[in-house]
Amino acid sequence: MKIVKEGDSRQVICPECGLTHATYQLRDVSFNDDSGLVKNILAAVCNHCNTVVSIPKQSTAKVRAEYNKIKTPIDVRLPAHFLDILNIATQKIDASLGDSFNKALVLYYLHALSSNRFSQNDLGLLLTSDLAKAKASKRFSVKLNEKSINEIKSLMASQKLKNNTEVFKSLILRINEDIVQPKQPKHLAELQNFAAAFA
Amino acid sequence: MGFKDVKSQVIICLENGSYDHEVREKIDIKNLFQCGQLNDDEVIELIRHTRGNEYESSPHHQVSTIDVHVLKPFKNGKRWYIKFYFIEPDAMFISVHESGV
Ligand SMILES: [Zn+2]
């Protein structure tokens, strides 16, 4: 396997400078969802603008370790209108937000409910509503750190939910009740603050 | 360079570990290869699996002399998306992810 050294130079296409050269240097590189940081890995840094342009294969092991530490993929299937609920809620919080905020909103609710800052009242009951009964034809996937996984477990226990699907379904139905249905959405100022930090 | 040559050259780069992952300042969590969630053998397998009609290439938008190669193999019920180019001295992977997610 090829191993590069600190100070080695290579050709790159830099997004700012085009075809140019970069030098391998030690850098901290973060994940683009800002969930974590891979410290002190060799990365090719553009000689002109000092931007990290690429990481060599040998740095992938540290990236993987950091990624696995913080991320567990969770995949559930949901009825199509559940994703519409999230889109509408996101738009009501801030019309300039893209749908990438949808997952953040769900995780925010997970945190607020599991910590009892938002009331857990009758969360499980929402699953018996008419809105909950539909074909689950869409995929919803999130990557969660250990903290969120534990929050899911605590909600399952306190609300007698059977699995991840039931947790996410009830969270989204609560978002429907809190944000989509009311003329005056609940928790609006707080969610707008969160959205501002997210953007 | 034809598809067959692209395929064999990129597999050689993977086997030799002579490749970089392109980064736009941050590591893209959707890029499973960059995040170490797919290993070299799995990516080689996907590339071997790619048919001629699942391949396209076009000049890099910044450097027209460099071709960007896109492979869209279908494996285990999933469509994959593999994007890379060759640049001295090796290959540069732009992205490897499941498409349509
Ligand atoms: Zn540059």
Average pLDDT per block of 10 residues along chain A, 199 residues long: 96 96 97 87 97 96 87 91 97 90 94 93 93 94 85 93 96 97 95 84
- What percentage of chain B reaches a pLDDT higher than 90? 84
Extract the tokens encoding A44: 């090719």
Q: Is the pLDDT assigned to residue B68 strictly greater than 80?
A: yes
How far does residue A44's CA lie from ligand 1's centre (Å)?
A: 11
Angle at A76 between CA A71 and CA A78, to 5 degrees: 140
**Residue B83 to residues B2, B36, B47, B62: CA-CA distances in angstroms?**
16, 16, 11, 16
Please answer whether residues A111 and A194 qualify as being in contact, where contact means their C-beta atoms are separated by less than 8 angstroms.
no
Q: Supply the pTM of this predicted model.
A: 0.63
What is the reported pLDDT for A49?
97
A47-97 pLDDT per residue, tens? 999 999 999 999 999 999 898 877 788 999 999 999 999 999 999 999 998
Cβ proximity of A170 and A124 under 8 Å: yes
What is the C-alpha to C-alpha distance for residues A107 and A109, in angstroms, rounded to an integer? 5
DSSP for A56-67?
EGGGHHHHHHHH
Give the tokens for residue B64: 């027209």
How many whole angstroms from B97 Cα to the centroid of ligand 1?
26
User: C-alpha angle with apex A156: A33 to A85, nearest 5 degrees?
Assistant: 55
The whole-angstrom separation of Cα A140 and Cα B60 is 33
Closest CA to A41 of A53, A58, A19: A58
Contact check, Cβ <8 Å, A18/B35 = no
Strand partners, B84: B69, B93
Locate B56 and state its tokens: 């396209």
Per this entry, what is the length of chain B?
101
* Cβ(B29)–Cβ(A32) below 8 Å: yes
Which residue(s) pair with B68 in the sheet? B58, B85
What is the ipTM for the molecules in this complex? 0.94
- d(C-alpha A95, C-alpha A93), whole Å: 7
What's the sign of the alpha-carbon dihedral A166, A72, B96, B51? negative
Does B101 score more than 70 pLDDT? Answer: no
- Both tokens of A159, joined, read 């609300």
Exposed / middle / buried, residue B25 (Cβ in 10 Å: 0-12, 13-18, 19+)? exposed
CA of A14 to the centre of ligand 1 (A): 5
* Spatial contact of A60 and A83, defined as CB atoms under 8 Å apart: no
Window 49-68 of B: residues touching A by CB (8 A cutoff) are 60, 62-63, 66
Interchain contact B31–A (C-beta under 8 A): no
What are the CA-CA distances from residue B13 to residues A10, A14, A122, B86, B91 (Å)? 15, 21, 56, 9, 6
> Which residue of B15, B22, B27 to mutate against A (max A Cβ within 10 Å)?
B27
